[in-house]
Amino acid sequence: MKHKKIVFPVIIGLIGLLTYLMLNIVLAEKTKAYQVKISEKPLFIVKDKSRVEQTIAQFIAEEEERIGHKVNLANKPTYQMVLVTADKLTKPSAIPKMMEESLEMQTEAAQILVDGKSLVCLPDEPAAQLVLEEAKKQLTGICEGEEICQAELLENVDVKVAQVSSKEVLANEEAVTFLVTGNEAPVEYIVKEGDSLWMIARNHDTRVANLKAQNNLTSENLQLGQVLKISSSNPYITVSAVVEGCKTEAIPYSTKIIKDASVTTFKEKQKGQNGEKKVTYRLTKENGKVIENKVLEESVISQPVERIVVEGTRSSGYAMTASRSGSFVGGLSWPLRGAITSHYGTRGGKHTGMDINGNTGDPIRAAKGGTVTSASRAGGYGLIITINHGDGLQTRYAHCSKFEVSVGAKVSAGQIIARVGSTGNSTGSHLHFEVIQGGSYRNPLNYLR
């Protein structure tokens, strides 16, 4: 028993000594280092403060280089001395990455405010003005041979100098793209049979030129299944521009019908040929979209050559002849005063209406009172408006430049419903007028008084 009494304190003493020694070893390996905090948040521990300061200086220099302007650090780091073992230290090479997110750099910049809302910042006022000018230019949507008379922004746009986060400062080009296209991500479109760039552009509210540029297209030929990137532009600003231009337009030829009671056939005696005219016009566009179209001057370059056809009336050999000899149904007034440039039933019987010559902007009048049942763009018809007169009678007016009434409107005979144009599959300004009775096309001449 005496033996045990001695052993116990010795063991305790040895443990104490060992612990002391081990603690000493560990303490000896601890080094003096700094806990680095940014915006109160502990980020990492380093041995050398200068490494952190160097990194900050480098970030500031890079940002100043990027925006060409003095940059201040809004949240300077704080250092707290700590004693840590080597494994708690952050490798110097990892420091830049760990600081990048946390540093807040501020700079004096020029904000572009649209209706009071800050949209984008530029290094200085001249840069902001330059960006606005360029965005304006891109949104004017000027075509070849057109000249800008006047352009203005419809929004209240201001440039104000303020302290902002340097991250908000964009390069001029980026800022222009942002203002002009909005920030919508591009969508992908797969080309289907019958697609054309023009149709795709229309359906996505963009322009052929934009599609070509975005997809590096050199021609307008599309392949089935081809994938197109389309960024539907949703500009932050609206440019209202008045432009003047000059273009060559076709003058559609007229068709003279010679009735011959001795034959039954329909024969072309002389081929028609379109003439040409030079048209000087003035357009009002909003972000490139035509809002108003005015012809300033027209001069004929070459006169059209009349098409002459012989229409046999001996029997009902030609369907259109038969319908024309039918009883006068009447009741419609002329939608437009002008020469008939192409009759109903021409083009091998495929012409479903009659063409009346007119100038872009001329008023088109309702042939009879009724209700507007559609006013839209429809393929080759271009802008087309339909009026239902009741009793199974409808009239349609195609290739319009503009509608003057909208769907659902009750119109009276002679009321202006649209303007003459050349939209859709048309070689020159004219009205394509159709009469539909009981679901079939009829010869309008039988209905006009």
Contacts with Zn ion by CB under 5 A lie at: 355, 432
DSSP H helices, 68-171, are 95-100, 125-140
User: Between helices 172-181 and 125-140, what is the axis angle to 10°?
Assistant: 40
Cβ nearer to Zn ion, comparing 77 with 304: 304
Token representation of residue 108: 């004096």
Query: Could you give phi then psi for residue 238, rounded to 5 degrees?
Result: -120, 125
The residue sitting closest to Zn ion, measured at its beta carbon, is: 432
Q: Return the SS3 of 24.
A: helix
In the complex, least distance from residue 388 CB atom to Zn ion, rounded to whole angstroms: 21
In the complex, least distance from residue 417 CB atom to Zn ion, rounded to whole angstroms: 18
In the complex, least distance from residue 397 CB atom to Zn ion, rounded to whole angstroms: 11
In the complex, least distance from residue 435 CB atom to Zn ion, rounded to whole angstroms: 12
Cβ nearer to Zn ion, comparing 123 with 444: 444
Cβ nearer to Zn ion, comparing 419 with 432: 432
Q: Would you list the DSSP string of 272-304?
A: -B-EEEEEEEEEEEETTEEEEEEEEEEEEEEPP
Cβ nearer to Zn ion, comparing 285 with 419: 419
Cβ nearer to Zn ion, comparing 79 with 441: 441
Cβ nearer to Zn ion, comparing 63 with 355: 355
In the complex, least distance from residue 444 CB atom to Zn ion, rounded to whole angstroms: 11
- Which runs of E-coded beta strand occur in 191-274? 227-230, 239-251, 255-260, 266-270
In the complex, least distance from residue 425 CB atom to Zn ion, rounded to whole angstroms: 9
Cβ nearer to Zn ion, comparing 236 with 253: 253
Cβ nearer to Zn ion, comparing 355 with 362: 355
| Cβ 84 vs Cβ 33: under 8 Å | yes
Find all residues with CB under 8 Å of 284, minimum gap 6, and list them.
240, 241, 242, 290, 291, 292, 293
Token representation of residue 124: 């200085």
Cβ nearer to Zn ion, comparing 236 with 433: 433
Dihedral angle of Cα 207, 208, 213, 214, to the nearest 10 degrees: 70
The CA angle 284-278-398, to the nearest 5 degrees, is 60
Cβ nearer to Zn ion, comparing 397 with 403: 397
Q: How far apart are CA 49 and CA 77, in angstroms?
A: 10
In the complex, least distance from residue 355 CB atom to Zn ion, rounded to whole angstroms: 4
Q: How far apart are CA 391 and CA 437, in angstroms?
A: 8
Q: Would you list the DSSP string of 168-188?
A: GB--HHHHHHHHHHTTPPPEE
In the complex, least distance from residue 144 CB atom to Zn ion, rounded to whole angstroms: 28
Q: How far apart are CA 8 and CA 26, in angstroms?
A: 27
Q: How far apart are CA 204 and CA 196, in angstroms?
A: 12
